[in-house]
Structure 1
Amino acid sequence: MPRIVQLLASPVHRYVGRPADGPAPAPPGELVEEVRIRAGLGIVGDRYFGKPAHREASVTVIAQESLPPGVDLVQVRRNVLTTGIAVDELVGSVLTLDSGEGPVRLRVNRPAHPCAWMEVTVGPGAWKALRGRGGVRCTPLNDGVLRVGPVDVTVEG
């Protein structure tokens, strides 16, 4: 059964400067049990919420199956970690997730390519290993809530 494994809403950017210098410390409480999503704006409380440059990428989703064991959202800086959903195959579709609070529709716009920071936060070889498996960047099409746990999934398009 598909699940939402983790949710991340971080108010700060951790990857500033050069990867060799390491990321800024993670703020407490960025891994949450639920997130509130606003249509066209993103995740309330997240660093990209309402930013015009990120409107088409304000919610990022990655499959746990793409990550090495023990790697989580704090390291890859995506918002939604799922299992049982092949998210990297959904570019151009509308992904609907319902974790019990009603459907949340996400337009899957483009891949979320890994960056050089992955070599530091995940480990050597991660950038190459995550190419084509780094998740997707989405625009929320309606307001809603996502929670950690089982999720009903539908895909349009």
Structure 2
Amino acid sequence: MTSPIPNDPSNLHHLVQQFPQPGRLESIILRPERRAPTVQVDSVQVLMNRGLEGDRASARKPSAAGGGGKRQITLIQAEHLPVIAAFMGMHQVDPTLLRRNLVVSGLNLLAARALFKNEPMVLCIGEEVVLEITGPCEPCSRMEALLGPGGYNAMRGHGGMNARVIAEGVMRVGDFIICRAEHGRI
């Protein structure tokens, strides 16, 4: 039996690497402390194995095994905000209430998660930053207080994704986001 041709458009391994357009970083949101109000910034230093400088997640010590945790940075789709608002019976939802670090548009974050363990996918943001999507960012009970009754369920399936830092640097609102396979790293 022959193996599939790598660039064959009918090959699932090829299809998961094809994105119609780059995404865009719409907003950067820091959570300085647990339950403290969030802060929007225009740019931020991304710290290897830690997260965003000034965010409470980056204050945690990286594990001794290296690589840090799977929830160093949280992301949410800008396109999901109107869906959450509709479920809540609202005209719009302020993304700072949702307490996700990055709001991105134009790129399907769910598709940016590796489908095959031996073919990791990464998000390249701007010129320096590289993130790996590690899994869904489930909503917490706090959404009930911030959005109102039903806020938790309104966000289920739309809560965004968690990521870890693969390469540090500075990211800025307006940066392009490219998703690509990270060959040679498992």
Task: Give the TM-score normalised by structure 1.
Answer: 0.79
- State which structure, 1 or 2, has the greater radius of gyration over its C-alpha atoms: 2
Which residue of structure 2 aligns with residue 6 of structure 1? 27
Paired AA for residue 139 in structure 1: R
Which residue of structure 2 aligns with residue 71 of structure 1? 93
C-alpha contact 1:56 1:139 (8 A) present in aligned 2: yes
Aligned length: 143
How has the CA–CA distance of structure 1 residues 40 and 156 changed in structure 2, closer, same or farther, with 3 Å as cutoff? same
RMSD: 2.2
**What is the DSSP-based 3-state SS (H/G/I as helix, E as strand, rest coil) of the residue aligned with 2:70?**
helix
Post-superposition offset of 1:38: 1.3
Which residue of structure 2 aligns with residue 148 of structure 1? 173
- 1:32 equivalent to 2:41? Answer yes
What stretches of structure 1 of length at least 5 have no aligned partner?
Answer: 15-23
Post-superposition offset of 1:83: 1.1
Post-superposition offset of 1:125: 2.6
Cα-to-partner distance string for 1:22-79 (whole Å, 9 max, x where unaligned)? xx5x26xx10001110111111111010414772101011101112253233211110
CA distance in 1, matches of 2:30, 2:177: 21
- 1:61 equivalent to 2:81? Answer no
Identity of paired residues, percent?
29
Which residue of structure 2 aligns with residue 104 of structure 1? 129
CA distance in 2, matches of 1:125, 1:90: 28
What stretches of structure 2 of length at least 5 have no aligned partner?
Answer: 1-21, 86-90, 115-119
Cα-to-partner distance string for 1:71-113 (whole Å, 9 max, x where unaligned)? 23321111000111211333335332333xx131111111000
Paired AA for residue 33 in structure 2: V
CA distance in 1, matches of 2:110, 2:141: 19
CA distance in 2, matches of 1:6, 1:70: 16
